[in-house]
Amino acid sequence: MHRRGCGGVSVDGFVTSRSTSHRYLHGALLPGACITRKRLQQAPQAERRGNSDSVAVYCGLAAMMTDPGAVPESALPLALANASKDEIARLEEQRYRTCRRCRQFKPGRAHHCSICDRCVIKMDHHCPWVNNCVGLGNHKFFLLFIFYVFVLSAYALTLVFFRYAKCINESCPTYGAIRVVCLILEAVLFGLFTMCMMCDQYSVITTGTTQIDRLKGESADNLGLREVFGGSDCKFSLHWLLPVNIWFPTSVKNQVLGYVLEHELIFSEDEASEMDTFLDDDSVSDTTITMTTETLEGGWSVEKRVPASEAADVV
């Protein structure tokens, strides 16, 4: 999360949204003289329905504070994930795509944010209202945030409609009229804004192309809805509507991220023991395998196993 932007304004918006349920209750659902004992008994139930705005508040805070998918400093090209020793040695001589600003490896789907000063996987835009980039890690939270705000706005307008529909044939006092007008303005403003945002995000979800990709004229592999909502397939699941973190199967995780972490390239002890079984008994007794670390261009390193006699020749 970055400190600059409209984060403070968005927090004020969360507080305003939190008080909206009380406006529903006092300004729209219980219009003046229409208050009866039965209505007062139904008030707690209506307030519980109004408390659904808590989901929108949580989604907004999650979009603000969740890592949008920043590329870690230990990220390496995906080509090194399943490469053999000879292939790694050959790939080390190639020049990988690096960000000219943060001077580290830059995956194909990553873009550098000048405000956050970091590369973000599948960056769509930097949203001032959540004070954070919208990328792979928090795109779902951002979508749920604008969706639930739209639902709450539509719910508020529906309550106002029923209020005035009832007051057509009844003599309702004007008590609370100012609050109702404020509620209408707020619902229309946020409703139209979030509706436009959802229409724009629809093309992002269906095509897998972010706003920055469209500006640059780039295209990318589209994994469908699960690239945004996570999961093992594109079938609708309940977790799509819940503010929970996304997850990907191991088979597609690296493909989505576009990089592999440095520690994943280090040979395991089991692999080392399997390699040693190909040596005869005399060679095993006379040869000692030593771990050496080779520093490569770009500031990252790769650990290798070499015989102790050759360890001194490795730079």
Catalytic residue list: 127
Q: Judge contact between 197 and 31, C-beta under 8 A.
A: no
CA gap 300, 73 in Å, rounded? 9
- Where is 11: in which H helix or E strand? helix 7-18
Measured CA to CA, the distance from residue 214 to residue 207 in angstroms comes to: 10
Name the residue among 190, 179, 194, 216 with its Cα closest to residue 146: 194
Helix (H, G, I), strand (E, B) or coil at 132: strand
Instruction: Tell me the C-alpha distance between 150 and 190, whole Å.
Output: 7
Total residues found in the chain within this entry: 315
Distance from CA of residue 4 to its chain's centroid? 19
Q: Which helix (H) or strand (E) holds 75?
A: strand 75-77
- Cα distance between residue 304 and residue 314, in whole Å: 10
Residue 170 corresponds to which amino acid? E
Question: In the beta sheet, which residues pair with residue 259?
Answer: 77
Residue 146 phi/psi, 5° resolution?
-70, -30
